[in-house]
Structure 1
Amino acid sequence: MEKQIINPWQWQNERSYVQAVEVKHAEGTLYVSGQTAISADGISSDADMKTQLTEAIKNLELVISQAGYECKNIVRLNIYTTSTAELWPNFSVLQDWIAKHGIKQATTLLEVTSLFETLKVELEATVVK
Protein backbone atom coordinates (compact mmCIF):
# COMPACT_ATOMS: atom_id res chain seq x y z
CA MET A 1 0.00 0.00 0.00
CA GLU A 2 1.13 3.53 -0.78
CA LYS A 3 -0.12 6.62 1.06
CA GLN A 4 0.49 10.18 -0.04
CA ILE A 5 -0.35 13.13 2.19
CA ILE A 6 -1.61 16.31 0.51
CA ASN A 7 -1.15 19.49 2.56
CA PRO A 8 -1.11 22.76 0.61
CA TRP A 9 -0.67 24.61 3.94
CA GLN A 10 1.05 24.03 7.28
CA TRP A 11 -1.56 25.31 9.77
CA GLN A 12 -3.43 21.99 9.99
CA ASN A 13 -0.34 20.31 11.49
CA GLU A 14 -1.05 22.02 14.85
CA ARG A 15 -4.53 20.48 14.74
CA SER A 16 -3.32 16.90 14.17
CA TYR A 17 -4.77 16.20 10.75
CA VAL A 18 -4.02 16.50 7.04
CA GLN A 19 -6.01 17.97 4.16
CA ALA A 20 -6.13 14.76 2.10
CA VAL A 21 -4.73 11.24 1.96
CA GLU A 22 -4.34 9.37 -1.31
CA VAL A 23 -4.12 5.58 -1.05
CA LYS A 24 -2.88 3.35 -3.87
CA HIS A 25 -2.53 -0.41 -4.01
CA ALA A 26 -4.42 -1.11 -0.78
CA GLU A 27 -5.01 -4.74 0.18
CA GLY A 28 -8.17 -3.85 2.07
CA THR A 29 -10.27 -1.04 3.47
CA LEU A 30 -12.04 -1.13 6.84
CA TYR A 31 -14.99 1.20 7.42
CA VAL A 32 -15.48 1.47 11.18
CA SER A 33 -18.84 2.51 12.60
CA GLY A 34 -18.80 5.36 15.06
CA GLN A 35 -17.18 4.21 18.30
CA THR A 36 -18.29 5.71 21.59
CA ALA A 37 -17.95 5.18 25.32
CA ILE A 38 -20.20 2.13 25.43
CA SER A 39 -19.09 -0.77 27.66
CA ALA A 40 -18.75 -4.37 26.48
CA ASP A 41 -22.17 -4.91 28.11
CA GLY A 42 -23.74 -2.21 25.91
CA ILE A 43 -24.09 0.42 28.62
CA SER A 44 -23.62 4.03 27.53
CA SER A 45 -21.30 6.12 29.67
CA ASP A 46 -22.54 9.18 31.51
CA ALA A 47 -18.99 10.23 32.41
CA ASP A 48 -17.31 13.53 31.52
CA MET A 49 -15.97 14.32 28.04
CA LYS A 50 -12.36 13.31 28.76
CA THR A 51 -13.39 9.91 30.09
CA GLN A 52 -15.78 9.32 27.20
CA LEU A 53 -13.14 10.34 24.64
CA THR A 54 -10.63 7.95 26.21
CA GLU A 55 -13.16 5.09 26.15
CA ALA A 56 -14.18 5.83 22.54
CA ILE A 57 -10.50 5.66 21.52
CA LYS A 58 -10.09 2.31 23.30
CA ASN A 59 -13.16 0.92 21.55
CA LEU A 60 -11.93 2.20 18.19
CA GLU A 61 -8.53 0.54 18.75
CA LEU A 62 -10.22 -2.74 19.68
CA VAL A 63 -12.35 -2.89 16.54
CA ILE A 64 -9.39 -1.99 14.32
CA SER A 65 -7.06 -4.56 15.87
CA GLN A 66 -9.66 -7.34 15.88
CA ALA A 67 -10.15 -6.75 12.16
CA GLY A 68 -6.41 -7.22 11.60
CA TYR A 69 -5.67 -3.57 10.82
CA GLU A 70 -3.41 -1.02 12.53
CA CYS A 71 -4.32 2.40 13.92
CA LYS A 72 -1.36 3.96 12.08
CA ASN A 73 -3.25 3.29 8.84
CA ILE A 74 -6.33 5.33 9.69
CA VAL A 75 -6.83 7.61 6.67
CA ARG A 76 -10.13 9.24 7.69
CA LEU A 77 -11.38 10.10 11.18
CA ASN A 78 -14.73 11.79 11.65
CA ILE A 79 -15.41 13.22 15.09
CA TYR A 80 -18.95 13.87 16.27
CA THR A 81 -19.53 15.70 19.55
CA THR A 82 -22.45 17.20 21.40
CA SER A 83 -20.20 20.04 22.57
CA THR A 84 -17.06 21.38 20.94
CA ALA A 85 -16.72 23.63 24.02
CA GLU A 86 -16.33 20.50 26.19
CA LEU A 87 -14.19 18.68 23.62
CA TRP A 88 -11.51 21.38 23.06
CA PRO A 89 -10.07 21.35 26.60
CA ASN A 90 -9.66 17.58 26.22
CA PHE A 91 -8.54 17.50 22.59
CA SER A 92 -4.95 16.75 23.62
CA VAL A 93 -6.12 13.23 24.55
CA LEU A 94 -6.95 12.63 20.89
CA GLN A 95 -3.88 14.50 19.62
CA ASP A 96 -1.57 12.44 21.86
CA TRP A 97 -3.18 9.21 20.61
CA ILE A 98 -2.80 10.32 16.97
CA ALA A 99 0.88 11.18 17.57
CA LYS A 100 1.52 7.91 19.43
CA HIS A 101 0.38 5.90 16.39
CA GLY A 102 1.86 8.27 13.77
CA ILE A 103 -1.58 8.68 12.18
CA LYS A 104 -1.91 11.11 9.26
CA GLN A 105 -5.64 11.30 8.60
CA ALA A 106 -8.17 13.52 6.93
CA THR A 107 -10.62 14.69 9.60
CA THR A 108 -14.03 16.26 9.89
CA LEU A 109 -15.30 17.52 13.25
CA LEU A 110 -19.04 18.02 13.64
CA GLU A 111 -21.02 19.32 16.59
CA VAL A 112 -24.38 17.56 16.69
CA THR A 113 -27.52 18.10 18.73
CA SER A 114 -27.31 14.70 20.35
CA LEU A 115 -25.74 11.26 20.19
CA PHE A 116 -27.11 7.94 21.44
CA GLU A 117 -28.40 8.11 25.03
CA THR A 118 -25.85 9.91 27.27
CA LEU A 119 -22.91 9.93 24.84
CA LYS A 120 -20.88 13.08 24.13
CA VAL A 121 -18.34 12.00 21.49
CA GLU A 122 -18.18 9.47 18.64
CA LEU A 123 -15.21 8.49 16.43
CA GLU A 124 -15.77 7.07 12.94
CA ALA A 125 -12.74 5.81 10.98
CA THR A 126 -11.62 4.46 7.63
CA VAL A 127 -8.51 2.27 7.80
CA VAL A 128 -6.45 0.73 4.98
CA LYS A 129 -3.81 -1.98 4.63
Structure 2
Amino acid sequence: MQRMPVNPWDWSQSLGYHQAEIVSGAQRQLTVAGQTSVDATGAPQHADDMRAQITLALDNLEAVLTGAGMTLADVTRLGVYATDVDAALQNFDLMGMRFGPHGVKPPMTLLGVTRLALPGLMFEIEAVAQQ
Protein backbone atom coordinates (compact mmCIF):
# COMPACT_ATOMS: atom_id res chain seq x y z
CA MET A 1 0.00 0.00 0.00
CA GLN A 2 1.24 3.47 -0.84
CA ARG A 3 0.06 6.71 0.79
CA MET A 4 0.50 10.13 -0.74
CA PRO A 5 -0.45 13.12 1.41
CA VAL A 6 -2.41 15.97 -0.15
CA ASN A 7 -1.88 19.25 1.71
CA PRO A 8 -2.73 22.44 -0.20
CA TRP A 9 -1.90 24.15 3.13
CA ASP A 10 0.58 22.89 5.70
CA TRP A 11 -1.07 24.09 8.93
CA SER A 12 -2.78 20.76 9.67
CA GLN A 13 0.50 18.83 9.66
CA SER A 14 1.64 20.60 12.83
CA LEU A 15 -1.63 19.38 14.41
CA GLY A 16 -0.85 15.78 13.41
CA TYR A 17 -2.98 15.17 10.34
CA HIS A 18 -3.01 15.57 6.56
CA GLN A 19 -5.84 17.27 4.71
CA ALA A 20 -6.18 14.15 2.55
CA GLU A 21 -4.29 11.07 1.45
CA ILE A 22 -4.31 9.14 -1.79
CA VAL A 23 -4.11 5.45 -0.95
CA SER A 24 -3.21 3.02 -3.70
CA GLY A 25 -2.40 -0.66 -3.76
CA ALA A 26 -4.49 -1.54 -0.71
CA GLN A 27 -5.86 -5.09 -0.60
CA ARG A 28 -7.87 -4.98 2.63
CA GLN A 29 -9.93 -2.33 4.37
CA LEU A 30 -11.07 -2.37 8.00
CA THR A 31 -13.81 -0.07 9.27
CA VAL A 32 -13.57 0.29 13.05
CA ALA A 33 -16.60 1.27 15.12
CA GLY A 34 -16.18 4.07 17.63
CA GLN A 35 -13.85 3.06 20.44
CA THR A 36 -14.33 4.59 23.86
CA SER A 37 -13.04 4.31 27.39
CA VAL A 38 -14.65 0.99 28.28
CA ASP A 39 -13.22 -2.20 29.74
CA ALA A 40 -13.54 -5.71 28.27
CA THR A 41 -17.11 -5.97 29.55
CA GLY A 42 -18.18 -2.65 28.01
CA ALA A 43 -18.28 -0.80 31.35
CA PRO A 44 -17.24 2.88 31.14
CA GLN A 45 -13.93 3.74 32.81
CA HIS A 46 -12.23 6.93 34.03
CA ALA A 47 -15.23 9.21 34.65
CA ASP A 48 -14.29 12.90 34.45
CA ASP A 49 -10.71 12.15 33.26
CA MET A 50 -10.37 13.10 29.59
CA ARG A 51 -6.70 12.10 29.39
CA ALA A 52 -7.34 8.63 30.79
CA GLN A 53 -10.38 8.22 28.52
CA ILE A 54 -8.37 9.13 25.42
CA THR A 55 -5.62 6.71 26.47
CA LEU A 56 -8.05 3.80 26.93
CA ALA A 57 -9.95 4.61 23.72
CA LEU A 58 -6.63 4.48 21.84
CA ASP A 59 -5.72 1.22 23.60
CA ASN A 60 -9.06 -0.21 22.47
CA LEU A 61 -8.52 1.04 18.90
CA GLU A 62 -5.12 -0.64 18.83
CA ALA A 63 -6.63 -3.87 20.18
CA VAL A 64 -9.17 -3.96 17.34
CA LEU A 65 -6.46 -3.21 14.77
CA THR A 66 -4.26 -5.95 16.23
CA GLY A 67 -7.17 -8.38 16.00
CA ALA A 68 -7.30 -7.65 12.27
CA GLY A 69 -3.54 -8.01 11.84
CA MET A 70 -3.07 -4.23 11.49
CA THR A 71 -1.44 -1.37 13.40
CA LEU A 72 -1.92 2.37 13.72
CA ALA A 73 0.38 2.64 10.68
CA ASP A 74 -2.49 1.28 8.58
CA VAL A 75 -5.06 3.89 9.69
CA THR A 76 -6.09 6.12 6.78
CA ARG A 77 -9.03 8.01 8.35
CA LEU A 78 -10.11 9.05 11.86
CA GLY A 79 -13.35 10.40 13.23
CA VAL A 80 -13.09 11.82 16.75
CA TYR A 81 -16.02 12.83 18.96
CA ALA A 82 -15.67 14.66 22.26
CA THR A 83 -18.14 16.08 24.75
CA ASP A 84 -15.53 18.76 25.59
CA VAL A 85 -13.47 19.71 22.54
CA ASP A 86 -11.17 22.00 24.53
CA ALA A 87 -10.32 19.24 27.01
CA ALA A 88 -9.75 16.81 24.15
CA LEU A 89 -7.43 19.24 22.37
CA GLN A 90 -5.48 19.83 25.59
CA ASN A 91 -4.73 16.10 25.57
CA PHE A 92 -4.20 15.61 21.83
CA ASP A 93 -0.50 15.05 22.46
CA LEU A 94 -1.63 11.48 23.18
CA MET A 95 -2.64 11.14 19.53
CA GLY A 96 0.80 12.26 18.40
CA MET A 97 2.47 9.92 20.87
CA ARG A 98 0.58 6.98 19.37
CA PHE A 99 0.56 7.83 15.66
CA GLY A 100 3.90 9.68 15.48
CA PRO A 101 6.15 6.62 15.90
CA HIS A 102 4.33 5.05 12.93
CA GLY A 103 5.08 8.08 10.76
CA VAL A 104 1.45 8.58 9.74
CA LYS A 105 -0.88 11.57 9.99
CA PRO A 106 -4.28 10.21 8.94
CA PRO A 107 -6.89 12.73 7.84
CA MET A 108 -9.28 13.31 10.74
CA THR A 109 -12.33 15.18 11.88
CA LEU A 110 -12.92 16.27 15.49
CA LEU A 111 -16.52 17.00 16.42
CA GLY A 112 -17.99 18.29 19.64
CA VAL A 113 -21.07 16.38 20.74
CA THR A 114 -23.49 16.84 23.61
CA ARG A 115 -23.07 13.24 24.78
CA LEU A 116 -21.89 9.81 23.73
CA ALA A 117 -23.74 6.49 23.90
CA LEU A 118 -23.03 5.73 27.57
CA PRO A 119 -23.20 8.26 30.40
CA GLY A 120 -19.76 9.37 31.56
CA LEU A 121 -18.02 8.79 28.25
CA MET A 122 -16.34 11.92 26.90
CA PHE A 123 -14.21 10.70 23.96
CA GLU A 124 -14.80 8.33 21.04
CA ILE A 125 -12.59 7.52 18.06
CA GLU A 126 -13.49 5.60 14.90
CA ALA A 127 -11.11 4.63 12.14
CA VAL A 128 -10.64 3.23 8.67
CA ALA A 129 -7.48 1.19 8.11
CA GLN A 130 -6.12 -0.30 4.91
CA GLN A 131 -3.37 -2.70 3.92
Bucket of the pairwise TM-score, normalised by the shorter protein? over 0.9
Q: Which of the residues 121, 125, 128 maps onto 1:126?
A: 128
Matches within 5 A, 1:1-129: 1-45=1-45, 46-117=47-118, 118-129=120-131
Looking at structure 1, the residues matched to 93 and 3 of structure 2 have their Cα atoms a distance apart, in angstroms, of: 25
**Aligned residues of 2:50 and 2:123 also touching (Cα < 8 A):** yes
Counterpart of 2:69 in 1: which secondary structure?
coil
Looking at structure 2, the residues matched to 25 and 88 of structure 1 have their Cα atoms a distance apart, in angstroms, of: 33
Stretches (4+) displaced over 6 A? none
Task: Provide the identity percentage.
Answer: 36
* Pairs aligned (count): 129
What 5-or-longer segments of structure 2 have no aligned partner? none
Name the TM-score, length of structure 1 as normaliser.
Answer: 0.95
Counterpart of 1:54 in 2: which secondary structure?
helix
RMSD of the alignment, in Å? 1.0
What 5-or-longer segments of structure 1 have no aligned partner? none
Name the TM-score, length of structure 2 as normaliser.
Answer: 0.94
